[in-house]
Amino acid sequence: AAGVIQSPRHLIKEKRETATLKCYPIPRHDTVYWYQQGPGQDPQFLISFYEKMQSDKGSIPDRFSAQQFSDYHSELNMSSLELGDSALYFCASSRTGQGQHEQFFGPGTRLTVL
Amino acid sequence: GESVGLHLPTLSVQEGDNSIINCAYSNSASDYFIWYKQESGKGPQFIIDIRSNMDKRQGQRVTVLLNKTVKHLSLQIAATQPGDSAVYFCAEKELSWGKLQFGAGTQVVVTP
């Protein structure tokens, strides 16, 4: 079965640089969620999109932005990177309606800011 | 062995024994409660969920119990296997399509 695809899997950036993380949801899933997981921490919700519109926003810094495109893939854009942005970034997707609500997580992108 | 709460981050269990992982949640408005398993270097994997109008749900080798009175959730794993070694997170959400609010994880270590 197809799963959530994230790219790149690993990313190393310098402080103040920018980064773009990509997420390809499971086919026919209409909702995408982004989570940030610091070392030894639980995942923290950043932002979500339903049918290409932002549906909810969590603790996402103003330096970050995201969008969902017509093909339902999503990108998380991160600017002015800080050391504290080093974390695992997970994308999850789900299909709303018909009682289905399970969020399926991708393998994550490990971002290291030096 | 039995976890006595999330202040105990590691649960060591002998292979074949039953595991119990506990979680306290805070949002009375949460309607869904979910357990995720996360292996090292991987994304969280759905195990089982329960809706707020239920107090017990069983899956394959797993049982989730919900006590809304004390806002407590537990995951029981029967006959724990080495492949069950992972970090387990409880999560809650208000809406079926809503964001997940994760609790602190519990590291489960299965010893032979």
Question: What residue segments make up the domains of chain B, in order of their start?
Answer: 15-111
Mean model confidence pLDDT for chain A: 94
| pLDDT band at residue B41 using 50, 70 and 90 as cut-offs | confident
Of B43, B89, B96, Cβ closest to residue A101: B96
Tens of pLDDT, residue by residue over A35-50, are 999 988 899 999 999 9
Structural domains for chain A: 5-113 (2.60.40.10)
Per-residue pLDDT averaged across A90-113, rounded? Answer: 88
Using a CB-CB cut-off of 8 Å, the residues of chain B touching A92 are 43, 100
Using a CB-CB cut-off of 8 Å, the residues of chain A touching B103 are 42
| CA–CA distance, B98 with A96 (Å, rounded to integer) | 10
Contact, B92 vs B34, CB < 8 A?
yes
Report, in this order, helix, strand and coil percent for chain A, each rounded to 5. 5, 50, 45
Dihedral sign, CA of A28, A50, A6, B94? negative
Q: How many CA atoms lie within 13 A of B90 on its CB side?
A: 27
Neighbours of B72 (CB within 10 A): 15
**Confidence check: pLDDT of B8 > 60:** no
| CA–CA distance, B87 with B84 (Å, rounded to integer) | 9
Neighbours of B31 (CB within 10 A): 15
- What is the 8-class DSSP label of residue B28? T
To probe the interface with B, which of A6, A53, A105 has the most B CB atoms within 10 Å? A105
CA B103 to chain centre: 9
What top-level class would CATH report for the domain B15-111?
mainly beta
Q: Are strands A109-113 and A10-13 parallel, antiparallel or unpaired?
A: parallel
**What's residue A27's pLDDT?**
94
